Structure 1
Amino acid sequence: MTLDILPFVRAGDETAATRLFTEALFQKLRPFFGREDSAVAFLTPHLCRERAVTALVDGRIAGIAGFRLDGRELFNPQWSDLQRHYGLLGASWRAAGLSLLEKDKEAGVLSMDGIAVSPEARGRGIGTALLDAICSIARQAGRHSVRLDVIDSNPRARALYERNGFVAGETRHLGLFKLLFGFSCATAMRRTVGPAAGHRPRTPTTGS
């Protein structure tokens, strides 16, 4: 197996990357798009190739992790795109519902949009490689930590994050909205990166 980690979505992989991401996060997306094909059709044109890390196994995309940086995230549809595709009423309730999934902005924190590994490629360290690449991007961007959210119905993902140094923080309960999304709560997890992760910059000394 040849594994390559790229700091972007390779040209030509846009649809495959969107489908892989959508299949993994469809529990969150289903209330707004109905079917996976519908989600892929709507989201693919709004994919930001520079806001992802991808894993290629023998030249084929097998994993993707999205992140938010400098006002851009993995998918960036605008209100006008929602309205054109779904009409005024459909766009209004979808925009309101999707806002429930938004993370609060935190200074110095790189937020992840999600991570996905194809079923046939799991168990090969791809998830860990993607998370390490995201943390490297955060460090280079001057961020002190990386944040992601994990839902209560996905213990396998939480175990992956914990193995890779992410620590659970606050938990947000959805209340009655759990009937819409199919899960009850989401827990914020963070991993410290950069100098705070375990070393201090050396203080320059002046020779005599």
Structure 2
Amino acid sequence: MTALGAVRRALACTLTGALLVLALGGCVTVTGRRTAAAHSPRTPSDESVGLARPFPSLPAVALAPVPDGYDPSADASAAIDRALAAARRDGRPVLVDFGSSWCADCQAMAALIRTAGLHQVLARNYHLVTVDVGRFDHNLRLAERYVPVEVSGIPAVVELAPDGSLLQGDNEGRFADARTLGADQVADVLISWLYPRTRNDD
């Protein structure tokens, strides 16, 4: 066997072994190999150095309920209080979506929320509360704490910290034309709210 043939055979064996590990064991990490001095005693941890190990599993995340409509009979203040209490327990912020079922853009937002990707972003990262504002004649005093819905239009979405303070507002009415938005666009905004840029990021 030539030297080139030996190299090819060694490479083929290495690739076959790697594929077998992936097929049988799934994703693995390979730790670095330490070189111990000849006089250093071996320890139990030395035996595992260089061996492939499975990735540690990520902890499960309890998904929060994600409403997709506006209930005019709901006690909106109590719903926000419950969401804030849950936020204080798990640290996730609260989203409040002000809208109404007569509004076509609010219906569009509700449809976007039902899409798998956006629904997952909300369920894993936020506590969502939907608040009915009627024809700008219902829950307005509550809405005015966070956003002037008569100016911004609806749907209007705000983000609250677990202590109830306003983190992000929708004064520009970025969601009021929800019929022109895709689920990915809404998800991008909500993810950017989770990880706001700072001056040091620029």
Q: For the superposition of Structure 1 and Structure 2, which TM-score range results when normalised by the shorter chain?
A: under 0.3
With normalisation by structure 2, the TM-score equals 0.23
Q: Which has the larger radius of gyration?
A: 2
- Which is richer in strand? 1
